Amino acid sequence: MPTLQRLDPAAELGIPSGRMPRHIAIIMDGNGRWAKQRGWPRIRGHEAGASNVREIVTQCARLGLECLTLYSFSSENWTRPASEVSHLMALYVHYLIKERDEIMANDIRLIQIGSRDGLPADVLRELDETASMSSANRGMTLALAINYGARQEIVEAVRRIAARIATGELRAEQIGEETISDALYTRRLPDPDLLIRTAGQMRISNFLLWQISYAELYVTDVFWPDFRREHLYAAIREYASRERRFGSAPDAT
């Protein structure tokens, strides 16, 4: 049974609950540079980054977020050295098994977004097992972006829509934003309100290009293995302080 202890955003963060984001997406960057600063191999940084996921996921769940999306492995990351990719895949298997009790205790529903093609069989097996056992949970959705690329996601969405047109299920003039959103990996999830990128890089890196059209962006120089609750809270407080206009003009004064 879930044992999640909810936090009151007003008391914990000093912001009204109505100013909390529903969906936070995080580009977890800086693992390799974190390790390099210490004279360690890159994989040590990935191990430290994986260990850091639990604290951030748990805090987001306790704060009542509807969804947290973590950019874990991009479709471009296959170009990294084979030994590094192999170790990363082993880390996913380890995480998915080790964190099942925490996922269930925190009432989290886990899903994967990204292509399944090319992922090792053991990664798919553990992903499916964890997703299945957590599918009835009603707390936060944790979306792991593994083998994910936004351009490829949009290409696949266009193909799905084209197939519907070819069968006569859909007419071209019926296509709208909702049609496209429903064809993406993130269908049935709210668009991110806040996108956090660690390690200071000022780019999106092919992540959720359609979904972050109106997201607030927050970049911190902190490397992902060092990103803690206080850094998460700083990002949320900054988000809460901003005026979101979604393209409209500010109120006249």
The span from the CA of 116 to the CA of 64, in Å, is: 29
State the residue for tokens 């979306």.
143
Query: H or E stretch including 237?
Result: helix 229-241
Catalytic center residues = 29, 77
The span from the CA of 244 to the CA of 223, in Å, is: 27
Query: H or E stretch including 155?
Result: helix 150-166
The span from the CA of 27 to the CA of 204, in Å, is: 8
Nearest Cα neighbor of 32 from 75, 96, 92, 88 is 88
